[in-house]
Amino acid sequence: MQQVEFFVNEEAVSVTARLNDQSFELPALWLRERCQDEQNLDQITQQRLFDPHQLDANVSLDSIRKISDGIYQLMFSDGYQGDYDFNEFRADFDTYDGAPTPQPWTANFDKSKFYVDYVELNDEQGLLKALEKFLTYGVLIVNEIPNEANMVLDVAEKFGHVRETNFGRSFEVYTRPDYIDLSSKSVPLGPHTDNPYRDPMPGIQLLHCIKNETSGGLSTLVDSLSVLAQLKSENPEGYQLLNTVPIRYRHIDKSIELIERRTMIESDVSGRVTGISYSPRLDYLPLLPQHQLAVFHRARQRLGELLNSSDYEWKFKLEPGQLQMFHNTRVLHGRTGFDASEGLRHLQGAYIDLDAPKGRYKAIKRQLGL
Amino acid sequence: MQQVEFFVNEEAVSVTARLNDQSFELPALWLRERCQDEQNLDQITQQRLFDPHQLDANVSLDSIRKISDGIYQLMFSDGYQGDYDFNEFRADFDTYDGAPTPQPWTANFDKSKFYVDYVELNDEQGLLKALEKFLTYGVLIVNEIPNEANMVLDVAEKFGHVRETNFGRSFEVYTRPDYIDLSSKSVPLGPHTDNPYRDPMPGIQLLHCIKNETSGGLSTLVDSLSVLAQLKSENPEGYQLLNTVPIRYRHIDKSIELIERRTMIESDVSGRVTGISYSPRLDYLPLLPQHQLAVFHRARQRLGELLNSSDYEWKFKLEPGQLQMFHNTRVLHGRTGFDASEGLRHLQGAYIDLDAPKGRYKAIKRQLGL
């Protein structure tokens, strides 16, 4: 969390927050809305017991009295007077809202940081560690998963709620030597994001390896945050276009025709980049003037090169009994080709939403008093 | 769909699209990416069989030859030559991507347009009609639902996939006279959006009335698109702030602490307003300079007034056997107070995602050749 300091001037009746060498005067209305007494705020759920939309827009702060360190009594022009613990305001200045700060990684990063054992997920300390890894790196590898049916759903439910799609609650990635043309190899899949044509896109994907008797079919993962930092430094103009011009993604099958428009580089409301939607078989170039379109296209091309570069891509064998869980738009996934005639290959997948891991991380920290 | 026309100049080797009195030259790269032959495009899934990110950014269009009405053979500098049906480009210019155009409604709008009977949902024509109503008005009321368990899930699955939350696949809204203090009435709930603290927010909510023996507890619905048009005309400066300054929403319970930042007025990537997140007990004013904050607050206050005004709010009794389905951020829901001592009140709810109804609407239209 960033260090914010509060300065109270009792004489001038003003409260100032200082963050990263910037000062912000805290308006009376802002303070009035954040009253903390138990008549106005449920002390357990932190849910308000009044409607702050009805407050007087012109409310002013009439007086401030220090009660103890960090605790002040504030008195307002609408007659409200209450004690404020200024520590409660820290959350407002925490731009990651209590979640760990994402740490971008590249191919030569120490990948042992991505691993946990399945048994660790059964107690709160272990689950907290796993959540911290996932939220920091956008990826988690779970080892030593018991050899039972539907473990992908079991792991998914430790982190969130299963997100059902047209594939059902979970889906199978399955190849058997006798099902396919023995002469053909199964083609590699470059790094991509799943379902850019959906609204909302799946936030997190889990893939559990049940069997892999082929020597190929390695998993690949790449952190788009690292790739995007590079792209931005090489080609700021192209980066800007990918970040602002929406393109169209389309998926058609018998029962559904999904079209969604989104920018290739995605940002959150604070303007921070959160990931990309990259799916070369499903996207459509936007209609831009010739020159801009070429800039857009070259940036998209370079993005693909970087995503596939050995500087950024982590290539590893997901062994039977292991599961990879990754942030669908931050960490792109793919797989190398394999020879399906070598044997069975069976993965089971599922999706969960983005918010639950963040929310559980914070709840466990609170419970453990961390 | 908007009327786009294409103009081909064989001599100048150029293709122009004309839409709403605006002309757009279609760049060669844009056309090259949209090649339609069966070697390059799967004719059923419309999925590309090549990687267009690899195309030459400088590709040019060398010649155009008319084959028949609307069909042209294009020849490019990279050696590619293929037939193009220009009708396929219409989808690019359809800003609603094949879905019906939303029609805002107010309190005195003819509400009979919102109703369908349950049996109609069992054939494609009836389902298409229901989908069209829902996508146009953001709300659908389903009549004559069979008196069986979990019908809310049955209806949900006709329109999409059930979105599981911390309440499970479905949730119960249940009051029994003997469960509550008989002296107390159950308080009204003003119009609000559900779960603004979630990422993603639930897209669509379904509420099935199983029993209602109380005389109050009327359902209320209000179309935020109408309310926002009014707010924008009254107070463009405040509207602009609500549309661009993110605020913080928070929800805390024992197992999860969810915080999400989003703007109160939400727009899609094309800048079109799609709805709001309005939840007066869970939101926090942003940190803005005093004057701007007052403007923001007054706009939020006025938004609340309009949402609760009888000019916009539709108040009706959802009878046992009826279900209301509404777009969570476009159409806000609430209920009037009721006297729980009068009898049982039991509703069952569920959520689905936004994209499936749009996607099914398009697929059924395609199947029926409409």
- Contacts with B47 from chain A: Cβ below 8 Å: 251-252, 281-282
Per-residue pLDDT band for B2 (boundaries 50, 70, 90) equals low
CB B299 within 8 A of CB B196: no
A358/B287 touch (CB, cutoff 8 Å), yes or no? no
Q: Tell me if A87 sits within 8 A of A72, measured CB to CB.
A: no
A68 touches chain B (CB under 8 A): no
B178 pLDDT band, cuts 50/70/90, is confident
- CATH of A111-365, picked from 3.60.130.10, 3.40.50.2300, 3.40.30.10, 3.40.50.360, is 3.60.130.10
Q: b/e string for A255-269 if b means 16 or more Cβ within 10 A?
A: ebbbbbbbbbbbeee
Give the three-class secondary structure for A88. helix
- Residue in chain A nearest B270 by alpha carbon: A246
Q: Read off the tokens for A320.
A: 């039977």
| Class of CATH domain B111-366 | alpha beta
Cα B325 from Cα A140, distance rounded (Å): 37
**ipTM at complex level:** 0.95
Report how far residue A164's alpha carbon sits from residue A170's, in angstroms, rounded to the nearest whole number. 7
**DSSP conformation letters of A295-339:** HHHHHHHHHHHHHTSTTTEEEE---TT-EEEEETTTEEEEE--B-
Are A47 and B198 within 8 A, CB to CB?
Answer: no
Q: How large is the greatest C-alpha to C-alpha distance in chain B, in angstroms? A: 85
- The residue type found at A347 is L
In this prediction, residue A181 carries a pLDDT of 58
What CATH code is assigned to B4-93? 3.30.2020.30
| Mutation target among B164, B265, B361 for the A interface, most CBs of A within 10 A | B164
- pLDDT 10s digits, B236-277: 999 999 999 999 999 998 899 999 999 999 999 989 999 999
Separation of alpha carbons A354 and B203, rounded Å: 15
Share of chain B above pLDDT 70, in %: 98
| DSSP helix/strand/coil, B185 | coil
Could you read off the pLDDT of B283-320 as tens digits, one per residue?
Answer: 999 999 999 999 999 999 999 999 999 999 999 999 99
Does A263 sit within 8 Å of B293, measured CB to CB? no
Contact between B136 and B103 under an 8 Å Cβ cutoff? The reply is yes
Query: Distance between CA atoms of B130 and B125, rounded to whole angstroms?
Result: 9
Tell me where in chain B the CATH 3.30.2020.30 domain(s) lie. Answer: 4-93
Neighbouring CB atoms inside 10 A of B181's CB total 8
Q: Distance, in angstroms, between A353 CA and closest chain B CA?
A: 7
Residues of chain A with CATH 3.60.130.10: 111-365
pLDDT tens string B207-220: 999 999 999 999 99
Whats the size of chain B, residue-wise? 370
Asked if B106 and B137 count as a contact pair (C-beta separation under 8 A), the reply is: no
Q: How far apart are CA B34 and CA A255, in angstroms?
A: 24
Per-residue pLDDT of chain A (370 residues; tens, 9 = 90+): 668 999 999 999 999 999 999 999 999 999 999 999 999 999 988 899 999 999 999 999 999 999 999 999 999 999 999 999 999 999 999 999 999 999 999 999 999 999 999 999 999 999 999 999 999 999 999 999 998 889 999 999 999 999 998 888 999 998 888 776 555 568 899 999 999 999 999 999 999 999 999 999 999 999 999 999 999 999 999 999 999 999 999 999 889 999 999 999 999 998 999 999 999 999 999 999 999 999 999 999 999 999 999 999 999 999 999 999 999 999 999 999 998 889 999 999 999 999 999 999 999 999 999 9
Contact A244/A263 with Cβ under 8 angstroms?
yes
pLDDT digits (tens, 9 = 90+) for A137-183: 999 999 999 988 899 999 999 999 999 988 889 999 988 887 765 55
Of all residues in chain A, what percent carry a pLDDT higher than 90? 88
Beta bridge partners of B143: B117
Chain A interface test: which of B201, B237, B269 (most A C-beta within 10 Å): B269
Which pair of structure tokens corresponds to residue B300?
A: 């939020």
Whether the Cβ atoms of residue A338 and residue A215 lie closer than 8 Å to each other: yes
Instruction: List A residues 167-186 in contact with B (Cβ-Cβ < 8 A).
Output: none
At A184 the pLDDT is 55
